[in-house]
Structure 1
């Protein structure tokens, strides 16, 4: 059901879970989805938010102030709040019905379009207003985006590695030790990424139950 979500969007959902866990929450609300969108340098949502002066740190501090600390870790039971669940499910249904890919832009527009959660404003909207974002201007910018450029990675800075004379001084044995350490770090990062991806799949699966 979520196969048409872009890689950038999935990454932002994973980060949203991580940010919720860091504050001791086992449920992910729309304010955490907003943090997920801000966490990456990829995706039109992040660019649009940053063009309006929104940065990750300010938003994170506003979220911490709003939700406080939760009762503990929810690494093995992450779910979405009703509003976040409905929002993501609607995006997935849109992808299926219209046969279109869903990007971070679609998620941010959905966060901006929902005006309330019960009686109170939706979490993400409340955070944006708290940090003085012009929501209408942000919506306008998102609606004018060239669809062909959605969620394309920012071009990397391709610079040659500066010459380090100490490289020549390393013995083959030292280089092997260094390579092994780097390989183990990569494996650990990959394992952690797989765990987070699995948590994301389980949380998204809960939406369609």
Structure 2
């Protein structure tokens, strides 16, 4: 399933599992995937979220060596891991028991991962990057990640536009 994932996207999956463990959850939900994307600070996700929240630059600086598109997009929306983590804990709480070593994906997370492939194909990309993971998350309307973003004042459509804007800026090297 992960053959087309970039190194950054694979790290996001590992970080998502770590987020589930840290919160004491026995499944990797869309909220954990969102938190994993935020940890990959060098990417589009942080850039998109920062621009939407208006707290950061609008994402015209070049990507850092390890910056993911998704992390850049989220950062530009003004979202950071701490803010989103607080929203996740408010939405789903913390687990009370021990968590198994293998933490499976929820059905909604599996659907978001599948959608990320469709997003990549739709953009004509032969890989699945963090931007595609974020777009896959944003495709569903009834998942915890989308609810957390909404609670933080970021709509799905606004986030999708920011991802595409960030991709355009990176592709053309232009400024607004």
TM-score, normalised with respect to structure 1: 0.62
Match of 1:139 among 150, 155, 160: 160
Q: Which residue does the alignment assign to 2:38? A: 38
Deviation of 1:93 after TM superposition, in Å, equals 7.1
- 1:158-199, Cα deviation, whole Å (9 max, x unpaired): xxxxxxxxxxxxxxxxxxxxxxxxxxxxxxxxxxxxxxxxxx
* Number of residue pairs the alignment of both structures matches: 145
Q: What secondary structure does 1:72 align onto?
A: coil
RMSD over equivalenced CA pairs, Å: 2.5
2: CA distance, partners of 1:94 / 1:51: 21
1: CA distance, partners of 2:168 / 2:5: 15
Query: After the TM superposition, which segments of 4 or more aligned residues of structure 1 sit over 6 Å from their partners?
Result: 93-96
Ranges in structure 2 where 5+ consecutive residues have no aligned partner:
43-67, 172-176
- State whether residues 4 and 95 of structure 1, in contact with CA within 8 Å, keep that contact through their aligned partners in structure 2: no
Match of 1:130 among 151, 159, 167: 151
Ranges in structure 1 where 5+ consecutive residues have no aligned partner:
117-121, 151-209
- State whether residues 119 and 136 of structure 2, in contact with CA within 8 Å, keep that contact through their aligned partners in structure 1: no
- State whether residues 119 and 132 of structure 2, in contact with CA within 8 Å, keep that contact through their aligned partners in structure 1: no
